[in-house]
Amino acid sequence: MANTTNRQIVIAARPNGKAQLSDFNIVEQAIPSPGDGEVLFRNLLISMDPYQRNLMGNASSELPPIDIGQPMSGPTVAVVEQSRNANFAVGDHVVSWSGWQEYGLSDGSDLQKIDPEAAPLSTALGVLGHTGLTAWLGVSKFLNPKPGGTFVVTAAAGSVGSVAAQLAKLRGHRVIGIAGGPEKVRYLKEDLGLDDAVDYKAPDFAEQLARALPNGLDTLFDNVGGYMFEALMPYFNHHAQIVICGTIAQYDFPDAPNGPNRLPELLKSFLYRFIEIRSFALPDHLGSHPEFLAEVGPLVSQGKIKYSEEFVDGFENIPDAFLRLFDGRNRGKLIARVGGTRARHQATP
Amino acid sequence: MANTTNRQIVIAARPNGKAQLSDFNIVEQAIPSPGDGEVLFRNLLISMDPYQRNLMGNASSELPPIDIGQPMSGPTVAVVEQSRNANFAVGDHVVSWSGWQEYGLSDGSDLQKIDPEAAPLSTALGVLGHTGLTAWLGVSKFLNPKPGGTFVVTAAAGSVGSVAAQLAKLRGHRVIGIAGGPEKVRYLKEDLGLDDAVDYKAPDFAEQLARALPNGLDTLFDNVGGYMFEALMPYFNHHAQIVICGTIAQYDFPDAPNGPNRLPELLKSFLYRFIEIRSFALPDHLGSHPEFLAEVGPLVSQGKIKYSEEFVDGFENIPDAFLRLFDGRNRGKLIARVGGTRARHQATP
């Protein structure tokens, strides 16, 4: 029997600190019908990313929060089920930004067709999708360090950090990854081949960091901010280059936390060490996607860039899986498989 | 009777917080004799600059402090009294880096000849010297804002800030100066022609700032750091460009002050507003001095860039005058006239 309802996971409440299950709700609506020029697609894979915490409100963010009652936004891999748009045929696979819902409607402008034969569909949400592109932009377009220096990546076992660290390694840097727990440290050193890895959850984190950075750091790809950035500040070398890609450690804290105030120390690092900090917004750089794919696509298929994915089955399990992103329990790109049991790959409208 | 002693103002003690008179000592030594290739010069004008606080130690600085018992370093205008260097003749006027002493000896490599007819000698320590060059480098080489935006200068009545503010005005920006006290505010608005000025000592500083920055700030030339930088953070526009030229508000505080911790807010500004912060070391850019003089020299002689100087007479009064730099009592470039009563312009060796 054809499915007639579209389930959505909506923001039920603004989190008070850490997000909780009760901040989400699952609602049902009728599957919409495409108007002239529109496409109806069914999501197969739904991405969960740390930045989505910021879209829930009460966060250290300047992104506008999603309205209460509206579904979480974000990228998905979908299959076209009905099309009134000449550019898309039923059965086409696309990346959409329809977020946490089972079906989406689009005029096509925010859809990107993908070839399901070229690479596993899930890579379009990770190593060859928005997280890989983010890593590549940071390393290739916003950092320009001399090879041979020390390149630090925080949240290095994560979906962005792991690609950034491997790209930095391929460019000839001494790459140090920071991640939580011995298994991730092993993964970074043995599987990804980084020069060293530091466990931020270990009681001797400070000592591990000092051992890993005997000559300071020349480049930092930071996904964490907060206490992690503060721990790294003393290691900034003269002319160190830094990309701030995320501040996951401070997403839950909308106000200035208790001191000591580390801002004067950072200003001093600008004044005396000439450090440079940059950031960028992914939507401003989507035009670089072909250049990114041309470089990173072959590296992935040759196994020179490894990636890790963690799948969660079932639409209703998305909120619980999402919350894992914030306690360091997951590794690699976190993706929900939602189309499995209801697959209608050749559905007719 | 020819003078035979060279007085020096030396660092007597590391300051504990604010520098005090007791942190200095005046000592005498015999005037040295130039060796082969060397030049003996007598200082006429001695510069006092806020960064010199950092050379005293126990400061929020990464400059190596001067050894206890050694004279404060810094720029002077001097006249050559004895020369065993073919490039310098007795009577030549030079800028030296001999610091707070009456005489200096050099192999000539750190001396720069100046023409006493071209401009008042004192300008070689200020508007046409290291402070003017610093302002010009920041505005011309390290900031590249679109004309028409809001350009904020802190310590805007100071020797660097006043030149930076006027250069920004000449480049078509809406320039807001921040300084302490109604007289400096009047000076910035009426004498320098800035678009607005804000008194950081006024009880309604926050309200004045809000009124002066209805559209935020696009460019910041900051000489102050600390609380001043923190007050300006909420006004940073997307892609705001910032030069950190000094952090005078935090020189006396070597440790991280009590909170709240404003660092996470700044990291957030990088992530969501794409602000850019730069700094530079003057010694790395002395090669730009001719380009600077070619632009700013005519602007000064045409009165398009105004400058303010405050003179202190007498070598022994240098420490007291220097301390004024830190409570906002002085305005413009602070210079000690030390050669007056002992002038021997045509002295023979």
Give the DSSP letter string of A13-72.
S--SSS--GGGEEEEEEEPP---TT-EEEEEEEEEE-GGGGGGGSSSS--SPPPPTTSBP
Kindly state which CATH superfamily the domain B5-125+307-342 is placed in: Medium-chain alcohol dehydrogenases, catalytic domain (3.90.180.10)
Residues B261, A263: C-beta atoms closer than 8 Å: yes
Average pLDDT over residues A285-311: 95
Q: Average pLDDT for residues A273-281, to the nearest whole number?
A: 95
The closest CB to that of A261, out of B63, B244, B262, belongs to: B262
Average pLDDT over residues B136-150: 94
CB nearest to A261's CB, from B261, B267, B268: B261
Say yes or no for a CB contact (<8 Å) between B60 and A257: no
Is 50 exceeded by the pLDDT of residue A347? no
Binary contact (B264, A253; C-beta < 8 A): yes
Average pLDDT over residues A151-164: 96
Percent pLDDT > 90 in chain A is 85
B266–A268 CB contact, under 8 Å: no
Comparing CB atoms, the residue among B259, B272, B273 nearest residue A261 is B259
Residues facing residue B154 across a β-bridge: B178
Q: Is the pLDDT of residue B11 over 90?
A: yes
Q: Per-residue confidence at B345, pLDDT binned at 50, 70, 90?
A: very low
Quote the pLDDT of residue A341.
41
Give the mutation candidate from B61, B232, B268 for the A interface (greatest A CB count, under 10 A): B268
Q: Do B260 and A263 touch (CB under 8 A)?
A: no
Tokens of B197: 């000025």
**Nearest 5 degrees, angle CA A102-CA A108-CA A112?**
80
- Shortest distance, CA A247 to any CA of chain B (angstroms): 7
CA A93/CA A172 separation, integer angstroms: 36
3-state secondary structure of B248: helix
Amino acid at B295: E
Specify whether the backbone of A57 is left (phi greater than 0), alpha (psi in -120 to 50) or beta. left
Determine whether the interchain pair B261/A257 forms a contact, defined as Cβ–Cβ distance below 8 Å.
Answer: yes
Query: What is the spatial distance between Cα B208 and Cα B230, in angstroms, rounded to a whole number?
Result: 15
- The per-residue pLDDT of chain A, averaged, comes to 93
Q: What is the pLDDT of residues A225-255, one digit of tens each?
A: 999 999 999 999 999 999 999 998 888 876 6
Q: Which of A228, A263, A269, A279 to mutate to test the interface with B (most CBs of B within 10 A)?
A: A263
> Tens of pLDDT along A38-74?
999 999 999 999 999 999 998 888 889 999 999 999 9
Residues of chain A contacting B280 with CB distance shorter than 8 Å: 274
CATH T-level fold of B130-282: Rossmann fold (3.40.50)
Q: Token pair 């990770």 is at which residue?
A: A126
Q: What is the pLDDT of residues A176-195, one digit of tens each?
A: 999 999 999 999 999 999 99
Taking an 8 Å cut-off on Cβ atoms, the answer to whether A250 and B230 are in contact is: no
Helix segments in chain B, DSSP class H: 130-141, 159-170, 182-186, 205-212, 226-232, 263-273, 289-301, 318-324
Which residue would you say has higher pLDDT here, B139 or A17? B139
Of B82-86, B93-97, B216-220, B337-341, the one with minimum mean pLDDT is B337-341
pLDDT beyond 80 at A349: no
Cβ of B277 within 8 Å of Cβ of A277? The answer is yes
Interface test with A, best of B154, B238, B252, B271 (most A CBs within 10 A): B271
Nearest-CA neighbor of A194 among A209, A212, A211, A175? A175
Q: Within 13 Å of residue B93, how many CA atoms lie on the same side as its CB?
A: 18
Q: Which residues on A lie below 8 Å from B250 (Cβ)?
A: 264, 267-268
B3 against A114, higher pLDDT: A114
Instruction: Determine whether domain A5-126+307-337 maps to CATH 3.90.180.10.
Output: yes
Q: Is the pLDDT of residue A340 over 60?
A: no
Inform me whether the pLDDT recorded for B323 exceeds 50. yes
Interface contact flag, A273 B229, Cβ < 8 Å: no
Predicted confidence (pLDDT) at residue A2 exceeds the cutoff of 70: no
Nearest to B160 by CA among B47, B11, B327, B239: B47
Best mutation site among B245, B263, B273, B276 for testing chain A: the one with the most A CBs within 10 Å? B263
How far off is chain B from A254, nearest CA to CA, in Å? 9
Q: What is the pLDDT of residues A76-106, one digit of tens each?
A: 999 999 999 999 999 999 999 999 999 999 9
* Percent of chain A clearing pLDDT 70 (strictly above): 96
Secondary structure (3-state) at B264: helix
Residue B340 has pLDDT above 70, yes or no: no
User: CB-CB: which of B226, B261, B270 is closest to A256?
Assistant: B261
Is A268–B60 a contact, with Cβ atoms under 8 angstroms apart? Answer: yes
Which residue is listed with tokens 């508007």? B127
The residues, any chain, with a CB within 8 Å of residue B218's CB and separated by 6 or more, are B145, B146, B149, B150, B151, B173, B237, B239, B240, B241
Nearest to B270 among A256, A259, A277 (CB): A277
User: pLDDT tens digit string along A252-272?
Assistant: 876 678 889 999 999 999 999
Q: Which residue of B has its CA nearest to A237?
A: B62
CB B167 within 8 A of CB B305: yes
Is residue B308 pLDDT above 80, yes or no?
A: yes
Locate CATH 3.40.50.720 in chain B.
130-282
Contacts of A250 in chain B (CB under 8 A): 264, 267-268
A contacts of B253 (beta carbons < 8 Å): 264
Reduce the DSSP state of residue B261 to 3 states and report it: coil
**Could you give the residue ranges of the DSSP H alpha helices within A103-225?**
130-141, 159-170, 182-186, 205-212
pLDDT band at B1 (very low <50, low <70, confident <90, very high): very low
ipTM value: 0.89
pLDDT band at B252 (very low <50, low <70, confident <90, very high): confident
Whose CA is closest to A119, among A318, A332, A309, A338? A309
What are the structure tokens assigned to B137, written together?
A: 């480098």
Q: With DSSP H G I counted as helix, E B as strand and the rest as coil, what are the percentages for chain A, rounded to 5? A: 30, 25, 40
Does the structure show a pLDDT above 60 at B341? no
Contact list, A63 vs chain B (CB under 8 Å): 272
> Alpha-carbon distance B92 to B40, whole Å?
11
